[in-house]
Amino acid sequence: MGSQFVSHKVGMGLRPPHYPYLEENPQTDVAWFEAISENYMDSLGRPLELLLKLRKDYPIALHGVSMNIGSTAGIRVDYLEKLRNLIDRVEPFIVSDHICWTGIGTQNMHDLLPLPYTEDSLQQVVDNIDFVQDYLRRPLALENVSTYLSFRHNEMPEWDFVSEVSKRSGCALLLDINNAYVNGMNHGFDPINFLRSIPLDRVAQIHMAGPSDYGRYMFDTHANEIPEEVWSLFTQMAPQISHIPICIERDEDIPDFKTLETEVMKAAYILESSHESQRSTIFV
């Protein structure tokens, strides 16, 4: 790991197309990797073997997509048991999932579906987080998601709901800057106001990604390079988030490792530059 920017802890989502490259080139400019929990919970074969090998060289975060923290029927214990077993083996520095619902009973919709931003829904999420944090015996980090509809009976804006989830449950937040951008475009608010309303002292991790622009709406595909608008939000937030681990995500049209590594280095450079300019302001 030769870069001067690695200290800024910019990581990358670990994706199967990059496994062969990482096996051949275990030393990279990526400071840590985020693994999708479900890809390793049910498969004890080669993917887990590679993850444990990578774990010897890098910190790992575990990121789930089907905890269903908004469920009105509580959290599935069989899911939590498998997650706890994976946590015991990987020893991640962060365990995260999303502020959403993903199914009913044992039916998994394989999507991150929006919750109504009401007191009832907030209490349900907080109760579920209490249960999960007790079961896992560790704090959870929860992420703001992209949405394409909003509920008429919402009682508060998304940023208040997200902040209250963290304040009332004690969980950490995973702040996805791309999702704030997508929602700003889809629901007509300024994403910088969203980001400035989130209590940054509760943010344990940050996501950056590129959505797809369908003209009338933005879709959170993670299929593209991070757009200038999202980099601009990141740059505006940089002075306040330079101590927080950042993760670059790509889930479709995944480029080769080196190409994605340049986005990791760009994020590290922006954080380093904002740190330097802060220092020169202090010492002028």
Please, what is the minimum distance in Å from the beta carbon of residue 112 to Fe ion?
9
Question: Between residues 3 and 207, which has the closer beta carbon with respect to Fe ion?
Answer: 207
One symbol per residue from 94 to 133: x for binding Fe ion (CB under 5 A), - otherwise; what is it? ----------------------------------------
Cα-Cα-Cα-Cα torsion 45, 47, 50, 52, nearest 10 degrees, comes to -80
Q: Are 256 and 21 in contact (CB under 8 A)?
A: yes
Please state, in angstroms and rounded to a whole number, the distance separating the CA atoms of residues 260 and 258. Answer: 5
Please state, in angstroms and rounded to a whole number, the distance separating the CA atoms of residues 150 and 72. Answer: 19
Question: Between residues 8 and 207, which has the closer beta carbon with respect to Fe ion?
Answer: 207
One symbol per residue from 47 to 86: x for binding Fe ion (CB under 5 A), - otherwise; what is it? ----------------------------------------
One symbol per residue from 202 to 221: x for binding Fe ion (CB under 5 A), - otherwise; what is it? -----x--------------
- Mark residue 31 as left, alpha or beta (left: phi above 0; alpha: psi -120 to 50; beta: remaining): alpha
One symbol per residue from 149 to 188: x for binding Fe ion (CB under 5 A), - otherwise; what is it? ---------------------------x------------
Q: Does the protein bind Fe ion through residue 250 (CB under 5 A)?
A: no
Q: Kindly tell me the burial class for residue 224, based on how many C-beta atoms sit within 10 Å of its own C-beta (0-12, 13-18, 19 or more).
A: middle
Question: Between residues 38 and 176, which has the closer beta carbon with respect to Fe ion?
Answer: 176
Question: Between residues 15 and 207, which has the closer beta carbon with respect to Fe ion?
Answer: 207
Please, what is the minimum distance in Å from the beta carbon of residue 156 to Fe ion?
22
Give the up-direction half-sphere exposure of residue 112: CA atoms within 13 A in the CB hemisphere: 17
Please, what is the minimum distance in Å from the beta carbon of residue 207 to Fe ion?
3
The helix (run of H) or strand (run of E) holding residue 115 is none
Please, what is the minimum distance in Å from the beta carbon of residue 89 to Fe ion?
24
Token look-up 């740059």 returns 235
Please, what is the minimum distance in Å from the beta carbon of residue 53 to Fe ion?
25
Please, what is the minimum distance in Å from the beta carbon of residue 167 to Fe ion?
21
Which token pair is 193? Answer: 């106001």
Please, what is the minimum distance in Å from the beta carbon of residue 98 to Fe ion?
8
Give the up-direction half-sphere exposure of residue 139: CA atoms within 13 A in the CB hemisphere: 17
The helix (run of H) or strand (run of E) holding residue 278 is helix 257-283
Nearest to Fe ion by Cβ — which residue? 207
Question: Between residues 3 and 178, which has the closer beta carbon with respect to Fe ion?
Answer: 178
> Which alpha helices (DSSP H) does 118-250 contain, by range?
119-136, 158-169, 177-187, 191-197, 228-241
Q: Estimate to the nearest angstrom the gap between the alpha carbon of 24 and the chain centroid.
A: 27
Question: Where on the chain is the footprint of Fe ion (CB under 5 A)?
Answer: 176, 207
